Amino acid sequence: KDDTPGCTMEAIEFSELAGDFAALDTLVLGVSADSCISHGGFRDKYGLTVELVADVDGEACEAYGVMQVKNKDGVEHRGIQRSTFVIDKDGVIRHALYGVTPKAHAEDVLSLVRAL
């Protein structure tokens, strides 16, 4: 979700490594249910360089299995589980990482991409 602590940290770290990903001919996309307008404000506020995709209808989230039932204070609701997918040039998912921790995650993903 735009402008939340975890997503902000993750987006900044991926932006800082954008040159490294580009050198490996790798496109980094951040996907959330936020609107394009929300993404624009988030991008501008933090100077992000990663591309942000608006999945307002939840189609991509459902397709990749990241919509999960969560329990907060005894109340169940559906929400997006922070996840990362490394997809090769043939469209094959090489790594599917669910429940990731934002801190240093971009560097971990960069290592996975380098190993391909």
**Active-site residues: which are they?**
7
The number of residues making up the chain comes to: 116
Question: What is the SS3 assignment for 84?
Answer: strand
- Three-state SS letters, 1-62: CCCCHHHHHHHHHHHHCHHHHHHCCCCCEEEECCCHHHHHHHHHHHCCCCEEEECCCCHHHH
